[in-house]
């Protein structure tokens, strides 16, 4: 599985068969360079403009977005490649006040080529036991670590313990480019120092598959 970090909370995933999924695309409000991409499926955790810019993708992708405050699942068939994916939605909140400040957030998770991917979106709190039960153990965890509008380094570390991932791909952290937008107040190194095993991929992309996932939790850092 090819995984490319697009910056902020957005990732591009492509299977060996060529199915392409984009997670949480951001608008030009975020001053990163968003590449020209075709996608079969776009997944959005919530309707804030730094997570819901599906219009930036070509290919007329099918869209997964939260439509209910209850757990849900949706099976999608990609006719172009013949692949079928089922996406599971777990309702959470964008803050630790039951969504009263920033609204709802959806954790999307799905299994692809035997790998369990979990994207936390703008999770704003530690997961409840019920939410942990619905999500289960993650193989690859897309984890916000920047604080202020999401969980920060300390809370992120606790969520790692809750979901016990093999691979952590950190996201939504403070960089010079977004320092004036009021989205984060913690940098990536502030999270990394809490993690026992960190690997810098020195690239925006990497390949992942079930057979080669690390056996112990490993943070794999991709360039933003």
pLDDT (tens place) for every residue of the chain, 224 residues total: 999 999 999 999 999 999 999 999 999 999 999 999 999 999 999 887 888 889 999 999 999 987 678 899 999 999 999 999 999 999 999 878 887 788 789 999 999 999 999 999 999 999 999 999 999 999 999 999 999 999 999 999 999 999 999 999 999 999 999 999 999 999 999 999 999 999 999 999 999 999 999 999 999 999 98
Does the predicted TM-score (pTM) go above 0.85? yes
| CB-side neighbour CA atoms (13 Å) of 56 | 24
Q: Which domains does the chain have, with CATH numbers?
A: 2-221 (3.60.15.10)
């Amino acid at each position: 599985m090819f995984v490319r970090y697009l910056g902020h909370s957005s990732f591009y995933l492509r299977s060996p068969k060529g199915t392409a999924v984009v997670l949480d695309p951001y608008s030009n409000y975020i001053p990163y360079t968003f590449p020209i991409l075709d996608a079969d499926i776009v997944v959005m955790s919530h309707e804030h403009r730094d997570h819901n810019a599906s219009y930036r993708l070509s290919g007329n992708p099918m869209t997964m977005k939260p439509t209910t405050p209850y757990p849900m699942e949706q099976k999608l068939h990609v006719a172009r490649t013949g692949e079928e994916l089922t996406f599971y939605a777990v309702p959470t909140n964008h803050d630790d006040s039951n969504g009263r400040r920033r609204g709802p957030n959806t954790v999307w998770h799905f299994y692809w080529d035997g790998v369990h991917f979990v994207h936390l979106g703008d999770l704003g709190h530690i997961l409840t036991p019920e939410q942990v039960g619905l999500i289960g153990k993650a193989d690859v965890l897309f984890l916000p670590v920047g604080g202020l509008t999401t969980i920060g380094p300390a809370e992120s570390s606790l969520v790692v313990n809750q979901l016990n991932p093999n691979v952590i791909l950190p996201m939504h952290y403070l960089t010079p480019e977004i320092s004036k937008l009021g989205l984060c107040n913690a940098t990536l190194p502030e999270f990394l120092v809490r993690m026992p095993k960190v690997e810098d991929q020195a690239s925006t992309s990497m390949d992942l598959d079930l057979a080669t996932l690390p056996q112990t939790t490993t943070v794999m850092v991709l360039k933003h």
